[in-house]
Structure formats: C-alpha cells, structure tokens
C-alpha cells in the first residue's frame, strides 16, 4: 500500500513540475507545447508500466536542437544470458517474469525532436560544423525511417525492436558527418551490424513482413561488411584510431577490442563471399582470411588477456575457410 502511495506521489510531483515548465516556456520555447505534454505523459506511462526499463532521473538536452527528453534505460538483472553465436552476438533466454528483452535496443541515444543519434558517450561531443549539418538534414532522416517502417516512430514512446533498428540507422546517418577523431567509419559499421541483427530478430517476430525485413537485414549486413573493412584500412593508415572508441563490441556485454573488429570483418566477408562469381578470387580471399584467423588464433593461445569466445570462434572460422578452399579447388579440377 505504501509503495503505491509513494509511486502516485512521485507521478504527481513530476506532473506539477512539467506543467509549470510547460506553462512558463509556452511563449518563449521553440518546442511546441503539445510536444512537451506528449513527453510528460509518455514518461509517466513509462514509469508506471515497465518492469524492464526506466527513464533517466534527469533530462538530457539535445546539443543540436536544445530539446529536453528522458533516456530509457534497461533495468538490471532483466536478461538471462545464453550462447554467443559466430558473429559474437549474445543470445538471451527469455525470463518468465519479463519475457523477451533485447538489450541492443537501448545503447543509441536519439533526440525525439531532430532525430540526432549517437552512442551515449558521443552524444555531447558534436562540433559546430556537424551541428549545422545534422540540424539541416533532420527531415531526410525522418522521411527515411517513415518509409523504412511504413509508420512514424516516436522516440518518446517505450522502445521496441523497430525503435532499436531505427536508432542504429539514424546513428549511421549522423556519424557520416562526424570528424575522423571519432572513428565514424567503424561506428557506422557497428551500427549497421546491430541493425542487421535486430532486423533478423524482427523477421521472426513479424512473419507477415518477413521478406521485407529479410531484405533490409541483408542490406545492412552488406553495409556492415563495407564499413568494417574500411575501418581496418583507416586504422592501419592512422586516419581513424580505433583505440579511441570506448567499446568496440560488437555486442553490449563484451568488448573484444581490435581482435573483435578483425574477426567480424573476416566472418562477414566470408559469409557474403557467395556474391563473388569468380571462384579463383574467392579462393584468394579465403586464403587471406584464413591467414588473419590463424594469426589471431595462434597469438591468442599464448595470451590470457584475450576472451575465450573469440579464440574459439576464430578457430571455427579458420576450419570453415580451410574446408571451403578445399571444396572450391576440387570443383575447379
């Protein structure tokens, strides 16, 4: 009983606070009053209804358009970790109390007003030049998401798989304007990969639109492969330093560092190699990838610092590449 009374009191205080702010800024604030009221009610609903997430205790101010909003965060102990697949993606076993939970839906911060989007650690690092460019292209981002899903997504609603996918697509666009010291190429690749992962999940959750989402999934896998390969070249040339990236992922639970980047680039290149009709070219690619995995696996065995899963997956990929080379060579005889 006491818990219910306290919750009602908190909601009442939030209501009064936001009504006061909305009233005081009615004339001077460039954000429409209806938008502020929608934000208020969406956060009250989020506080009241969700056992999985919660709104941030303080508002975040968008550095592009000055809009104020709350960030939805995942509560602790709401996921049951399962196996790691060959793309270093963690699978989660649904918990009876909370059902299916997708941690990948939440890492990207998105301004609900101008759709500026980056990973949380980059959100306030935007520079004046990029601010102007991102502000001028907000309608392009909005239309792209609307067309992609056939509906308008409100980022003040509780996040769904679609919000998660859209957040990574928006981040890909925003990072295209960012300077080299933020390693934008890698972050576009990481965002494309995570979008592909969530789209793959959505094909199972929404079977009526399976073909549409499968096509989008494959498209973003291609984008991920492109940007991962490009980010490695930029790292080697010193153009974009990956050591400056806070977490190289690729998932949210483990940071596999630069080895993880090389592994993901290799596994994506291998999986998408069927698009190359030239068998000799594929053999050359497989041989190069096998060499990369051999070095990663070989050096890793003598290092206690490398996480176990990446060594296992590198060895499995090495074996698959070796078998594919053998099969292609036999088919050409």
Q: Do residues 137 and 232 share a domain?
A: yes
Q: Do residues 126 and 185 share a domain?
A: yes
**Is the confidence at residue 16, as pLDDT, over 90?**
no
Q: Are 52 and 94 in contact (CB under 8 A)?
A: no
Q: Tell me which of 195, 219, 244 is where a domain ends.
A: 244
Alpha carbon distance 242, 63 (integer Å): 24
The residue length of the chain stands at 333
Q: What is the pLDDT of residues 308-333, one digit of tens each?
A: 789 899 999 999 999 999 999 998 88
Q: What is the pLDDT of residue 104?
A: 96
Torsion, CA 138, CA 141, CA 145, CA 151, rounded to 10: 30
Could you list the residue range(s) of the whole structural domain that residue 233 is in? 2-244
Omega within 30 of 0 (cis) for the link into 250:
yes
Q: Do residues 250 and 240 share a domain?
A: no
Q: Do residues 14 and 121 share a domain?
A: yes
Q: What is the pLDDT of residues 211-263, one digit of tens each?
A: 999 999 999 999 999 999 999 999 999 999 999 899 999 999 889 999 999 99
Q: Do residues 165 and 33 share a domain?
A: yes
Average pLDDT, the chain: 86
Q: Do residues 211 and 252 share a domain?
A: no
Q: Which of 16-25, 42-51, 240-249 has the highest mean pLDDT?
A: 240-249
Task: Give the number of domains in the chain.
Answer: 2
Counting residues of the chain whose pLDDT is more than 90, the rounded percentage is 70
The string over 79-116, giving b where at least 16 C-beta atoms fall within 10 Å of a residue's C-beta and e elsewhere, is beeeebeebbbbebeeeeeeeebbbbbbbbbbbbbbbb
Q: What is the pLDDT of residues 57-113, one digit of tens each?
A: 899 999 999 999 999 998 877 878 889 999 999 999 888 888 889 999 999 999 999
Q: Do residues 221 and 95 share a domain?
A: yes
Q: What is the pLDDT of residue 44?
A: 53
Helix (H) or strand (E) holding 325: helix 308-331
CATH of residue 262's domain is: 1.20.58
Structure token pair of residue 314? 């590198």
Helix (H) or strand (E) holding 154: none
Structure token pair of residue 332? 């050409």
pTM of the model: 0.86
Longest Cα–Cα distance of the chain, Å, equals 80
Q: Do residues 118 and 213 share a domain?
A: yes
Q: Are 35 and 64 in contact (CB under 8 A)?
A: no
**Is the confidence at residue 27, as pLDDT, over 50?**
no
Helix (H) or strand (E) holding 122: none
Q: Tell me which of 222, 244, 266 is where a domain ends.
A: 244
Q: Do residues 196 and 271 share a domain?
A: no
Q: Do residues 11 and 108 share a domain?
A: yes
Structure token pair of residue 169? 């697509």
Q: What is the pLDDT of residue 61?
A: 97
Q: Do residues 152 and 274 share a domain?
A: no
Q: Tell me which of 215, 244, 273 is where a domain ends.
A: 244
CA-based R_g, the chain, Å? 22
């Amino acid at each position: 009983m006491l818990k219910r009374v306290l919750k009602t009191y908190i909601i009442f205080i939030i209501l009064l606070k936001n009504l006061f702010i909305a009233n005081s800024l009615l004339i001077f604030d460039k954000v429409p009053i209806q938008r502020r009221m929608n934000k208020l009610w969406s956060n009250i609903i989020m506080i009241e209804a969700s056992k999985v997430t919660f709104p941030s205790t303080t508002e975040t101010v968008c550095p592009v358009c000055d809009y104020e909003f709350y960030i939805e965060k995942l509560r602790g102990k709401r996921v049951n970790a399962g196996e790691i697949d060959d793309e270093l993606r963690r699978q989660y076993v649904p918990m009876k109390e909370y059902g299916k939970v997708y941690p990948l839906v939440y890492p990207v911060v998105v301004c609900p007003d101008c759709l500026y989007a980056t990973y949380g650690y980059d959100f306030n690092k935007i520079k004046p030049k990029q601010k102007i460019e991102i502000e001028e292209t907000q309608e392009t981002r909005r239309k792209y998401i609307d067309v992609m899903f056939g509906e308008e997504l409100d980022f003040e609603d509780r996040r769904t798989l679609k919000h998660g996918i859209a957040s990574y697509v928006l981040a890909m666009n925003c990072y295209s304007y960012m300077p080299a010291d933020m390693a934008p190429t890698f972050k576009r690749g990481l965002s494309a990969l995570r979008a592909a992962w969530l789209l793959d999940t959505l094909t199972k959750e929404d079977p009526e639109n399976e073909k549409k989402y499968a096509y989008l999934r494959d498209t973003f896998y291609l984008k991920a492969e492109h940007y991962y390969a490009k980010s490695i070249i930029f790292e080697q040339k010193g153009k974009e330093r990956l050591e400056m990236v806070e977490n190289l992922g690729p998932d949210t639970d483990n940071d596999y560092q630069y080895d993880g980047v090389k592994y993901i680039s290799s596994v994506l290149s291998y999986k998408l190699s069927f698009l190359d009709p030239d068998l000799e070219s594929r053999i050359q690619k497989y041989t190069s990838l096998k060499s990369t995995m051999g070095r990663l696996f070989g050096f890793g065995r003598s290092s206690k610092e490398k996480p176990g899963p990446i060594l296992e997956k590198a060895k499995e990929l090495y074996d698959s590449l070796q078998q594919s080379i053998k099969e292609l060579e036999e088919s050409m005889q």
